[in-house]
Structure 1
Amino acid sequence: MKNKAVILGANYYIGLSTIRCLGKNGVVVAAVDYSDNGAYGFRSKYCSEKLIGPHYKENSKAFLEFLIDYAKKQDASPVLIPCADPYVEFVDTYLYELKEYFLIPQTKKGLYTELMNKEKLHSLASLMNVKVPETIRLTEDNYIEKIETILKYPCIVKPVDSPAFVSTFRRKMFKVNDRKELVEAIDKAKKAGLEVIVQRIIPGFDDHMYTFDAYLNQEAKVTNWLTCQKYRQYPINFGASVYTGQKYVQELYDIGAKFLEGVGFKGFAEIEFKKDAVTGDFYLIEVNVRITNLNSLLEKVGVNMPYLTYMELTGEKIEPQEIKKDTGLVFWYAYEDFLASRGYVKTKQLKTSEIIKSLFRPKAYAIWDVSDSKPFFEFNGILMKKVFRKLFK
């Protein structure tokens, strides 16, 4: 395989799983990060090259030059795969410049950003008759009164630009229970210079969250897909997957494939849905346009999204695949699941016995891999340092 794969982001398990998905199939992988500190993905035996470059946001032009300079030195154009939202934004900003030297599935500049932008995503979904949570914008007249009569409390104050919001507040949104909390949340966002919208909370526990994970070829057609059901998230109720199982739900394909093909998407995408506990309707919550948290689960089920990307872009034929059965496999991020479980028990949403009982299922781990254990021990070393710093602060 003459084309290398360049992975943007090695300090989180998404990057690590992507490195493994490619390296196990004989692809030479170069991982990129702005620091070696905490980048446990670098320790994988499947990471052939470790590249430390300028910060993607603090010096984006220098980072662009760094990547292009690397690509120019290669015998064949590398496949470029961003593994975190800020890297996706970077790739989208410089898509045409990067495509001169890298193989990238997306061909339309701005589409990644549109789907990540909650305001634009809402508009696209509405145009295509896909249900989204009822939303009030702060530009509307008497928006507080509308929130209280149409959405009602509790509701959520949600960012338009998720990566910037998470970077600022270390959370995905604000849940508010009354007018005082609503005004405080909006003021916090305004002071940070961040645009927000307010949405109704779709009723249902965290196990009403589902995903449609799909690969779309260069003709923007879904070729490989599966669906999953979340069981636990962190932070609880409005967080990322920490314990999620593969679960076949045909309706998610019917909605999700039509939407992604309709917007002309190419490459890997994951749509998150929530099933209304009252009506049974599925509501589109967000779209992830980079490799997902569940990547190790998808690969274990048999749908290797990074390798599909690599094969198609390097001219190899990919075989269509759809998982229309329940495999019983679950994704498990043990560290954050422990934190989440503590929260569920404390708020009486789950019992300890229910959580323990759920753990006896075959798993795809976020970090642990018996054949590639160094990243696991590196990660635990990072955790221990954090614990010591808190203890002696």
Structure 2
Amino acid sequence: MNNKAVILGNNYYIGLSTIRCLGMYGIHTVAADYSEEERYGAKSKYCSEKIIVPHYKKDSENFIDALIDYAKKQDAKPVLIPCHDSYVEVLDTQLDRIREYYLIPQTEQGLYTKVMNKETLEALAVEKGIKVPETIRVDEDDFAEKIETIIKFPCLVKPTDSPSFVEKFRRKLFKVHSMDELNDALKQAKDADEEVIVQRIIPGFDDHMHTFDAYLNQDGKVTHWVTCQKLRQYPINFGASVYTVQKYIPELVEQASDFLEAIKFKGFAEIEFKKDAETGDFYLIEINARITNLNDLLAKVGMNIPYITYMELTGAPLAPTALKETTNRAFWYGYEDMLAIRDYIKTGQLSVMNVIKSLIRPKAYAIWDWKDPKPAFAYTGIILSKVFKRIGKR
């Protein structure tokens, strides 16, 4: 295995799990980050090499140049694996150039951005017959009337470009309950130069969120897939997964597979759906076009996405797999799940007994691994440092 694997974004557990998923097979893993600060993923015993590159957003041109300079020095093309949306966005703008020096699944420059952008994703979904939540643009005629009659309150103000919005507001969206709150949210977005849309909330608790996680080969065909059900998110109701179980959901498979193949996607994609509590219909919410929170769970139930990606791109594709059963194994990000549980109980959405019952199942941990404990210790140190700083400011 002469091809190294360069992993972008190791200050989060997605990068850590990617390093582990590859390192356990003896693959040379390279943690590429813009800073040593908080990159606990690089503490893994499976991390073979660490490099520092310019910031992907503040200095994107030199970031790309640094990656290329690194690749030029290697004996074989490295496999490039981004573990954060912002890395994907920057790489997508230079995809044709990057592909000269790296192995990366996607071949169509701009497609990553299309599926990550809420407006263009909606257009693709509608074109292919996939249900999406009703959406109103802020510049539409009769805007207020459409909000009152089609969208109704409460509703969501969502960014078209999620990474930029999250970076500025430290949240994924605004939930508003009145026209005054809506106008205030729109003003905040405008002042921050963020383009947003207004969307209907699909009824149903957080356990109505489901995922279809799949790998599409270089022929654009789904070769590996797993379905999952979220149980808890943080922030609650409209956040990232902190407790999700693998569950076979056959209703998702055909429509999700057909959609990804129809748009000619290649590589890993995770489609998030929400099941309407009133109609039972599944609505496409978003697509993650990079390794996701659930990576370790997927690997433990037989779908090691980083390894599948690496092996196909280096010329030794693995046999197709589909998990048509429910293992009931859960992904668990313990620290944020504790925060989520606090808020679910505080708002009356869950009881203590609900939570206790949910925890009794085999788990895939976000950070902890008995065989590779250093990242967890480093992460604990980071959290404690932040806690002490907050206490010191009081």
- So what's the TM-score if we normalise by structure 1? 0.99
Partners of 2:169 and 2:90 lie apart in 1 by 21
- Equivalent in the alignment of 1:227: 227
What is the CA-CA distance between 1:358 and the residue it aligns to? 1.2
Runs of 4+ in structure 1 deviating by more than 4 angstroms, as ranges, are none
For the residue of structure 1 that corresponds to 2:48, the secondary structure is strand
- Equivalent in the alignment of 1:385: 385
What is the CA-CA distance between 1:352 and the residue it aligns to? 1.2
Q: Is 1:351 the equivalent of 2:351? A: yes
- Equivalent in the alignment of 1:291: 291
- In structure 2, the gaps of 5 or more residues are none
- So what's the TM-score if we normalise by structure 2? 0.99
For the residue of structure 2 that corresponds to 1:296, the secondary structure is helix
What is the CA-CA distance between 1:91 and the residue it aligns to? 1.1
Counterparts of residues 7-26 of structure 1 (less than 5 Å): 7-26=7-26
Aligned length: 393
What is the CA-CA distance between 1:385 and the residue it aligns to? 0.3
Counterpart amino acid of residue 359 in structure 1: L
- Equivalent in the alignment of 2:328: 328
Partners of 2:257 and 2:225 lie apart in 1 by 9
Counterparts of residues 95-244 of structure 1 (less than 5 Å): 95-244=95-244
User: Residues 323-343 of structure 1: CA distance to partner in whole angstroms, max 9, x if unpaired?
Assistant: 000001000000000000001
Partners of 1:46 and 1:211 lie apart in 2 by 28
For the residue of structure 1 that corresponds to 2:186, the secondary structure is helix
Q: Is the 8 A contact 2:308 2:317 kept in 1?
A: no
- In structure 1, the gaps of 5 or more residues are none
What is the CA-CA distance between 1:33 and the residue it aligns to? 0.7
Q: Is the 8 A contact 2:7 2:15 kept in 1?
A: yes
Partners of 1:181 and 1:46 lie apart in 2 by 48
Partners of 2:188 and 2:269 lie apart in 1 by 31
Partners of 2:38 and 2:318 lie apart in 1 by 35
- Equivalent in the alignment of 1:84: 84
Partners of 1:63 and 1:93 lie apart in 2 by 12
For the residue of structure 2 that corresponds to 1:47, the secondary structure is coil
Q: CA RMSD in A?
A: 0.6
What is the CA-CA distance between 1:75 and the residue it aligns to? 0.5
Partners of 2:236 and 2:273 lie apart in 1 by 16
Q: Is the 8 A contact 2:233 2:241 kept in 1?
A: yes
Partners of 1:11 and 1:184 lie apart in 2 by 33
- Equivalent in the alignment of 1:264: 264
User: Residues 18-60 of structure 1: CA distance to partner in whole angstroms, max 9, x if unpaired?
Assistant: 0000001111000111111100011001111111111011111
Q: Is the 8 A contact 2:92 2:110 kept in 1?
A: yes
- Equivalent in the alignment of 2:247: 247
Partners of 2:317 and 2:37 lie apart in 1 by 38
What is the CA-CA distance between 1:317 and the residue it aligns to? 2.6
Partners of 2:167 and 2:58 lie apart in 1 by 13
What is the CA-CA distance between 1:73 and the residue it aligns to? 0.6
What is the CA-CA distance between 1:360 and the residue it aligns to? 1.4
Counterpart amino acid of residue 278 in structure 2: V
- Equivalent in the alignment of 1:372: 372
Counterpart amino acid of residue 279 in structure 1: T
Partners of 2:174 and 2:299 lie apart in 1 by 33
